[in-house]
Amino acid sequence: MSRRHLVVAACLAGLLVAGGSSALRAAETEAPSRFAVVGVTIHSVSGPTIEGGTLLVTGDTLEAVGADVDVPAGTQVIEFGGRHVYPAFIHPSSTLGLTEVNSVDGTVDTTEVGEVNPALRVESSFHADSRLLPATVAGGVLFAHVVPQGPLLSGTSAVMRLTGWNWHDMTVAAPVAMHLRFPSFIPRPGFFGPPPSQEEVDARRKKDLETLDRTFAGARAYQKARQVMAAGKGPFVALDPSFEALLPVLDGTLPLFLHADHAEQIAAALDWAEEQGLSKLVLVSNQDAAGFAERLAAADIPVLFTGTLRLPREAWDPYDAAYTAPAKLHEAGVRLAIADAGNGFAAFNSRNLPFEAAMAVAFGLPHDVALEAITRVPAELLGVGDRLGTLEAGKEASFVVTDGDPLDIRTHIEAVWNAGVPVDLEADPQRRLWRRYAGRPARETAKPKGPKP
């Protein structure tokens, strides 16, 4: 994966005037050292809703959150009467920063050549000046789990902040997970030509499984040889970046995200991981994961659900197969994070993350669980739960201000703070276009020509 990062233009910041104006105007590049957002309904996700609450922010940290917060003298006070505050949304699986226009190859940097790339670090290819980022931030999604694509072992992912100067200061945590795309059982048509035969799929699957087994066996042998060398009881063993990248997965310190879609693939992936003795797993899947809800709950394997806003995959599936699957998983006790239906490819749809969760609510998933699925749970699965995902004292001051429920498409996001810095929502090109054409002068209706009847 090429290393392509550009310096991003500074995000204009500003302070919201009393009354809750939706635009952040002032050209500040840093937030005041301390400010308080008062008169809001706080949805902390970690506890009960707080009416008439206050968030006291010092630097980039929430100093206090509650209904009876003492605001020190001299603190800048920002009033949002009747507004709601939520933690910043976290997209659990995206290619934001790796792709711009899918049909233009030069703007797509999602996949490395080869099938086994465990040493790949996705954060160094993150394009900080992507035009997709402002639109996503304007939708309340301030963080993204950026995932490499590609067959078999795709590499490691990173949690990226969607505002900043470059990939260095936008990297929140990396690496956060290793990604394995389990071999498929079913012939699928490609972009060109008919699908492969079942015999070709079976042969490819057998070859891929042999490659996986050989890679993990090699990593274990390498791990043992390095331990023996370190103890002074064996010969020198050269550093191998690919095997080194797999050691945290073998130790259970780095989660393995298993990507598998259809039922046979999921069953085989879970069996394979069990045989390998891998203890820290996350299943990345869609509607067929609901058929394994009891097994996943018993093994405490969370599910990263890849979108509800999608058609049934098979002709015989019920129309609501994707809509109802999150509720079925939750009822069985499976921890759940929700991404978009593109499973990373449709980066331009990342801004619609709350509505993926909303569809699950419409088909049985409790509202609070759906909100957790795009805030607290992704943060925990990605190892940043001590910093992000909820509104609690001591955590990062990254939050959104809305005029209603963010899972309701009619709700407007009126302000955003990222690490204590207000974000200029007018940086979103789509918002600027909307404002331009919303104020377009109305034209007079043309009068019909010709003789009167």
- pLDDT per residue, tens digit, the chain (453 aa), is 443 333 223 333 333 333 333 333 333 345 568 999 999 999 999 999 999 999 999 999 999 999 999 999 999 999 988 899 999 999 999 999 999 988 888 888 888 888 999 999 999 999 999 999 999 999 999 999 999 998 899 999 999 999 999 999 999 999 999 999 999 888 776 656 678 888 888 899 999 999 999 999 999 999 999 999 999 999 999 999 999 999 999 999 999 999 999 999 999 999 999 999 999 999 999 999 999 999 999 999 999 999 899 988 888 999 999 999 999 999 999 999 999 876 556 788 899 999 999 999 999 999 999 999 999 999 999 999 999 999 999 999 999 999 999 999 999 999 999 999 999 988 888 888 888 888 888 776 666 666 665
Task: Judge if 285 and 375 occupy the same domain.
Answer: yes
E strands, 1-120, are 34-42, 50-58, 61-66, 76-87, 89-94
Task: Judge if 193 and 230 occupy the same domain.
Answer: yes
Could you tell me if residue 125 is inside a domain?
yes
Residue position matching structure tokens 């921890």: 335
Could you tell me if residue 58 is inside a domain?
yes
Distance, first Cα to last Cα, the chain: 71
Task: Judge if 77 and 95 occupy the same domain.
Answer: no
Residue position matching structure tokens 């008062």: 38
Give the sign of the dihedral formed by CA 140, CA 144, CA 149, CA 153. Answer: negative
Residue 407's domain comprises 34-87+394-433
Task: Judge if 232 and 372 occupy the same domain.
Answer: yes
- Across 385-400, b (16+ Cβ under 10 Å) vs e yields eebbbbbeeebbbbbb
Could you tell me if residue 255 is inside a domain?
yes
CB 96 within 8 A of CB 128: no
Q: How far is 318 from 34, CA to CA, in rounded Å?
A: 53
Task: Find, among 395, 397, 399, the residue nearest to 416 by Cα.
Answer: 399
Q: Which residues face 36 on adjacent strands?
A: 56, 77
What the block records as the tokens of 261 is 């879609």
Split into its structural domains, the chain has a count of: 2
What the block records as the tokens of 42 is 């706080």
90 contact partners, CB below 8 Å, separation of at least 6: 141, 142, 143, 144, 145, 159, 374, 375, 378, 379, 382, 388, 389
Q: How far is 246 from 236, CA to CA, in rounded Å?
A: 20
Q: What is the pLDDT of residue 18?
A: 33
> Judging by DSSP bridges, how do beta strands 76-87 and 61-66 pair with one another?
unpaired
Task: Judge if 240 and 305 occupy the same domain.
Answer: yes
Distance of CA 301 to the CA centre of its chain: 18
Q: How far is 238 from 192, CA to CA, in rounded Å?
A: 43
